[in-house]
Amino acid sequence: GPALLFVKTSQGTEEGRRFYACSACRDRKDCNFFQWEDEKVSEARLAAREEYNRSHQPCFTHRQNVDRYKNFVLLPLSKRRFCQECQQLLLPAEWKKHSDHQFLCDITTAQLKSPSQLLYPLENKKTNAQYLFAERSCQFLLNLLTDLGFRRVLSVGTPRLHEMIQSKASQEEEFNVRSLLLDIDFRYSQFYTEDEFCHYNMFNHHFFGGETARETCRKFLCEENGERVIMVTDPPFGGLVEALASSFKKLMAMWRKTEKEGHDNREMPMFWIFPYFFESRILDFFPSFSMMDYQVDYDNHALYKHGKTGRRQSPVRIFTNLTPSMIVLPEEEGYRFCTVCQRYVSSGNQHCEICNSCTSKDGRRWKHCVLCKKCVKPSWFHCNNCKCCTLEKHSCEKTDSGCFVCGKAGHKRSACPSLSRS
């Protein structure tokens, strides 16, 4: 889809040179597209790009994949094969072409209903970072959504939640929740129809299926018969928050234009699942959001696991525009309700009488610093040279250097406004 416009700045300078780069891949090894904004591109280079794009298209269209799936499920179990190298369901006529590849045999209906466990996760941190919800977190989210009365879930980059909803809907007659998956991983088109999956880039709000896919999404967002809609998104943690927020606002605008309930200035209900240390960035774009204490954990991530203690706990949280008191967290997992803050918090998150808030972000009990006038991490100490709380072993002289990108004090390179402007 469309590239994003960035600014390349030098240290200590305000102005920089603008350039276009890939919206989804931050590593040039994955996508080498780069173009200065003021650069004139030759016809030959444009033609080469078009040819490159054509050569990297999927083997089959979404419609073809749907037809192939219908034929695949009619096959006896002994003839159901999945190529692990090509990540593709194979029909018998294609076996010969994949004869020297590794493949799985006897693919069951249960496996077809859980494609996130059949497909290899794409774990390039700078491109896909396809970390999948653990069963515990997925079940908690689904229970929470149904308890809150939502009957339609726009699953943006949450394939495991989508497949859990699809699976329950096919097995339980009384289960009346529906889901639409928007994801950049086109492999899912092998398992879902055009009404269940749209190939989508959340960094530039691009529907690869064009106007047809966009209309599918718009229709899904229409709240008919009182079926309330919520968006649940779990973006790659290395993604640019500004680009993500822009896309999410466009999805909200699409929901608002359905005009079934007179949405006007209201926001579509949303769960944005992201690490707690991005809280300030998310609140910059969505001031109405609050961060919940619930720790989201993942099956295929070495660190983001439930049950660990101290700094080893998962830093991933739920940001939402719903009223915090509505988000009931499981007491059996150590969460409790704070009557002053009117929200559920982790057991280690003690209410600070001075801040008048439960201030911990990482699950540990934080301490109040009178000089900083705020609560800080338990491992931090007030440094008189730096005039703020920081780790005990640190170099004070580093604090005077300011940001590496723009030279200004008060923020790090990773949070520099010049770097993230797009």
pLDDT in tens, the chain (422 residues): 899 999 887 766 667 889 999 998 877 788 889 999 998 999 999 999 999 888 888 889 999 999 999 999 999 999 999 999 999 999 999 999 999 999 899 999 999 999 998 998 775 544 455 678 889 999 999 999 999 999 999 999 999 999 999 999 988 888 999 999 999 999 999 999 999 999 999 999 999 999 999 999 999 998 777 789 999 999 988 889 999 999 999 999 999 888 665 566 688 999 999 999 999 999 999 999 999 999 998 886 555 555 554 456 788 999 999 999 999 999 998 899 999 999 999 988 989 999 999 999 888 889 999 999 999 999 899 998 888 999 888 888 654 455 655 556 656 655 665 554 44
The size of the chain, in residues, is: 422
242 in a structural domain: yes
Closest CA to 58 of 174, 151, 187: 187
Residue 282 zone, left/alpha/beta (φ > 0; ψ -120 to 50; rest)? alpha
Amino acid 420: pLDDT: 47
Indicate if 42 and 66 belong to the same structural domain.
no
- What pLDDT is stored for residue 422 in this prediction? 40
CB-based contacts of 73, cutoff 8 Å, min separation 6: 109, 112
Q: Report the alpha-carbon distance of residue 362 to residue 315 in Å, rounded.
A: 6
Q: Do 98 and 223 have their domain in common? A: no
Q: Could you tell me if residue 189 is inside a domain?
A: yes
Cα 325–182–250 angle (5° rounding)? 70
Same domain, yes or no: 251 and 341: yes
- In tens, the pLDDT along 31-42 reads 889 999 998 999
Looking at the fold, whether 301 and 337 belong to one and the same domain comes out as yes
Q: Does residue 151 sit in the same domain as residue 283?
A: yes
Residue-number span of the structural domain to which 90 is assigned: 62-107
Any domain includes 416:
no
Alpha-carbon separation of residue 333 from 43, 303, 363 (angstroms): 61, 19, 12
Q: Please tell me the predicted confidence (pLDDT) of residue 337.
A: 94
- Residue 333 counted as domain residue: yes
- Whether residue 295 is found in the same domain as residue 317: yes
Residue located via tokens 């359905």: 258
Predicted local confidence at residue 2, as pLDDT: 93
pLDDT value for 307: 55
246 and 308 fall within a common domain: yes
Q: What is the pLDDT of residue 304?
A: 54
Q: How many domains does the chain have?
A: 3
* 67 and 189 together in one domain: no
pLDDT at 173: 84
Domain check: are 203 and 329 in the same one? yes
Nearest by Cα to 119 from 84, 94, 91 = 84
Model confidence pLDDT, tens digit, residues 301-336: 555 555 554 456 788 999 999 999 999 999 998 899
Q: 168 and 78, same structural domain?
A: no
What are 121-126's contacts with CB under 8 Å, separation 24+? Answer: 121/300, 122/185, 123/300, 124/27, 124/30, 125/236, 125/237, 125/238, 126/25, 126/26, 126/27, 126/30, 126/238
The answer to whether residue 129 sits within a structural domain is no
Residue 17 token pair? 């040179």
Residue 18 belongs to a domain: yes
Q: Residues near 146 by Cβ (< 8 Å), separated by ≥ 6?
A: 177
Residues 6+ apart with CB under 8 A from 177: 142, 145, 146, 150, 151, 152, 153, 165, 168, 169
Q: List, in sequence order, every beta strand (DSSP E) within 295-407.
A: 316-320, 335-338, 343-346, 351-352, 357-358, 367-369, 374-376, 380-383, 388-391
Residue 230 lies in a domain: yes
Any idea what the CATH number is for the domain that residue 173 is in? 3.40.50
**Strand locations in 236-377 (E):** 270-275, 290-291, 316-320, 335-338, 343-346, 351-352, 357-358, 367-369, 374-376
